[in-house]
Amino acid sequence: MKSISQMTMRPVLVFAVLLGLLLLIDGALLVDGISRRKVEAITLARLEVLTGALGLTDLAVSTEARYTRHPAVSDPIAPFMDHPGAIEHFPTGAFWLPPSR
Amino acid sequence: MAQYNIEKQLNILDYALSSLWRRRLKSLSVLLVFAAVIFLLASFQMVTQALSDKAGQVLVHTPEITLQKMSAGRQEAFPLAYKEQLAGIFGVRRVVPRIWGYYFDEVRLANYTVIGMDTAEMPEGDRLDSALAGGRMPRLEEAGRVVIGHSIKKGLDLGGRSTFSLFRPDLSLKPFEISGEFSQHTDILTNDLMVMTLADARDLFAIPADQVTDLCVYVANPKEIDTIARKISDALPAVRVLTRPQIQKTYQVVFGWRSGFGSICLLAALAAFVILAWDKASGLSPEERREIAILKVLGWETRDILAVRFWESVIVSGLACILGITAAYIHVVYFSAALFRPVLMGWSVLRPELHLLPSMAAGDILLILAFTVIPYLAATVIPAWRSATVPADSALGG
């Protein structure tokens, strides 16, 4: 008969179980991602029709400033054009790089 | 022999795990900080990559050439007669006039993007109704009818009504009836859009009947876009000519580590690594010296002690990497990058539902590893060597 100390798993096995659990979660996320991608394909077809039919040039992610709403058709100077000495003050400006021409 | 080596490495791994468990508070702290840093970097990488991918996929259908007029560095309306001037350029297949502007709703403090055009003239125009959540696009002769984005409808809070009014520049009211609504799923393009007829857009912005703000130009041969764009520039020097490749290129470079927020993420990660590396390199604690000395007395070789330190680093950085990347994916996909939304959308009143689905390629994971795990492993090499070469008697005798 084994004593309790002999019955405890060696650390490598405990670690392997933990790693296996984490990879199982990642596997579930992967499977869910594949099913989401199928839904995404339907949405993408709609987005393509909208872009073609309305001649859209930009993503509608941030609507606070003209140059972050439509960076593709804005000049790099646009954030500083509102008045002399204007500084770029919109939070979304921190996320976007000025478009290169 | 191979069996012996594997068993030996497993035993060393056992020891490394026990060693980490003995110092569990410190190990857990390092693991959590490390995972948080990787989470930050991976989230930024996933959000920007998902947005760039989406833009890359949909902007293939943007107009081949877009014309706008600049005056004193600002965009302004220009005569519709420019369209006739383009007709003489060989290779131009179609020119569609458009009114495109912004309407600031002072009641809701929201910006709307207003587009007025005859969509029947556009490519895919006949399929546009199928992309709506409900209703249909207004026909050319249907005055006062409009299709609005999901967020606008939510913001207007119309209840059961389908009519609303906007102010003209002279503060008179222009009534509209909603003829259709863009789907919530297409929010990333149509969130703040209001599409109406050309005549209604002119009326709303008080633009004269012979003026437009844009011309969408389509060419017969896409390979000639640049040549035709050059000819248009020569024929109409006052207009700004934007080509489809230029617009597509913008979204390949507009998100990056050099943006303010990207730099902050990167600098935060760098600062965390400097602190970790400094902690590792700043010397051994008396407990660690004693432990190494005992191991050496028991017959452990320097390379065994190095292997223990190596496995400790691999376990901590590997676990942190898996935890950080998994948490980042959950954050971006299931919580729509909620932590980044305050910066990504700022003071925007209309906020789109972001359905981001990053595709994690091997290159992206390698990039994150290169920024995080590899510096950590490198930072532990020298301290590991120093710890392994401690003379046994110096620690025990001391």
CB contact B322 to A (< 8 Å): yes
Mark B335-368 as b/e (b = at least 16 C-beta within 10 Å).
ebbeebbebbbbebbbbbebbbbbebeeebeeeb
Q: What is the DSSP string of B112-138?
A: EEEEE--GGGSTTGGGGGGGEEEE-PP
**CA closest to B62 among chain A residues:** A55
Contact B393, B294 (CB under 8 A): no
pLDDT over 70, % of chain B: 97
* Residue in B188, B214, B343 closest to A91 by CB: B343
Tokens 């000519």 appear where? B241
Chain B nearest CA to A74, separation (Å): 10
What length is written for chain B? 398
Arithmetic mean of pLDDT, B303-310 = 85
Contact B389, B84 (CB under 8 A): no
Number of Cβ pairs < 8 A linking chain A and chain B: 221
Interface touch B246/A14, C-beta < 8 Å: no
B352 vs A contacts (CB less than 8 Å): 60-61
Contact B184, B350 (CB under 8 A): no
Q: Could you give the 3-state DSSP secondary structure of residue B263?
A: helix
Q: What is the DSSP string of B326-339?
A: HHHHHHHHTSTTTT
B21 vs A contacts (CB less than 8 Å): 11
B98 vs A contacts (CB less than 8 Å): 55
Instruction: Give B 83-102 residues with CB within 8 A of chain A.
Output: 96, 98, 102
CA angle, corner A98, sides to A49 and B263, nearest 5? 110
Question: Residue A86 — pLDDT band, cuts 50, 70, 90?
Answer: confident
Per-residue CA distances from B274 to B139, B152, B261, B280 (Å): 63, 47, 20, 10
Arithmetic mean of pLDDT, B371-381 = 75
The per-residue pLDDT for range A25-45, each reduced to its tens digit, is: 999 999 999 999 998 999 999
Q: What is the DSSP string of B157-217?
A: T-TT--EEEEE-TTS-EEEEEEEEEE-GGGHHHHTTEEEE-HHHHHHHHT--TTEESEEEE
B299-308 long-range Cβ contacts below 8 angstroms, 24+ apart? B302/B388, B302/B389, B303/B388, B304/B12, B305/B384, B305/B387, B305/B388, B306/B384, B306/B385, B306/B388, B307/B9, B307/B12, B308/B12, B308/B15, B308/B16, B308/B19
**Most trustworthy range by pLDDT among B170-174, B316-320, B386-390:** B170-174
Question: Residue B114 — pLDDT band, cuts 50, 70, 90?
Answer: very high
For testing the chain A interface, which of B61, B148, B226 should be mutated: the one with the most A CBs within 10 Å?
Answer: B61
B124 vs A contacts (CB less than 8 Å): 48-49, 52-53
B72: CB partners within 8 A, 6+ apart: none
A69 vs B contacts (CB less than 8 Å): 102, 111, 113, 192
Arithmetic mean of pLDDT, B171-184 = 94
CB contact B114 to A (< 8 Å): no
What is the C-alpha separation between B232 and B249, in angstroms, rounded?
A: 21
Arithmetic mean of pLDDT, B311-323 = 90
**CA closest to B358 among chain A residues:** A33
Question: Residue B397 — pLDDT band, cuts 50, 70, 90?
Answer: low
Question: Residue A99 — pLDDT band, cuts 50, 70, 90?
Answer: low
The per-residue pLDDT for range B274-294, each reduced to its tens digit, is: 787 777 766 667 777 788 888
Q: Helix B373-388 vs helix B260-281: angle between axes, to the nearest 10 degrees?
A: 10
Interface touch A95/B261, C-beta < 8 Å: yes
* Residue in B62, B96, B185 closest to A51 by CB: B62
- Give backbone dihedrals phi and psi of B65, rounded to 5 degrees, phi first: -140, 135
A77 vs B contacts (CB less than 8 Å): 73
Q: What is the DSSP string of B97-115?
A: EEEEEEEEETTTTEEEEEE
Tokens 């012996």 appear where? B4
Contact B266, B41 (CB under 8 A): yes
B355 vs A contacts (CB less than 8 Å): 40, 43
B61 vs A contacts (CB less than 8 Å): 48, 51-52
What is the C-alpha separation between B317 and B319, in angstroms, rounded?
A: 6
**CA closest to A59 among chain B residues:** B189
**CA closest to B152 among chain A residues:** A63
Contact B204, B194 (CB under 8 A): no
- CB burial class (10 A; 0-12, 13-18, 19+) of residue B214? buried
The per-residue pLDDT for range B6-51, each reduced to its tens digit, is: 888 889 999 999 988 988 998 899 899 889 989 998 999 899 889 9
According to DSSP H, which parts of chain B are helical?
2-22, 24-58, 82-87, 150-156, 187-190, 198-205, 225-235, 244-253, 260-281, 286-297, 302-333, 341-345, 362-371, 373-388, 392-397
Q: What per-residue confidence (pLDDT) applies to B28?
A: 92
Tokens 């249907």 appear where? B142
**Residue A45 half-sphere exposure, CB side, CA atoms within 13 Å?**
7
The per-residue pLDDT for range B118-135, each reduced to its tens digit, is: 999 998 888 999 999 999
* Residue in A19, A92, A99 closest to B250 by CB: A99
pLDDT of A2 strictly over 60: no
- Sign of the alpha-carbon dihedral angle for A53, A56, A60, A66: negative
Give the rounded distance of the alpha carbon of B201 from its chain centre: 32
What is the C-alpha separation between A56 and A72, in angstroms, rounded?
A: 10
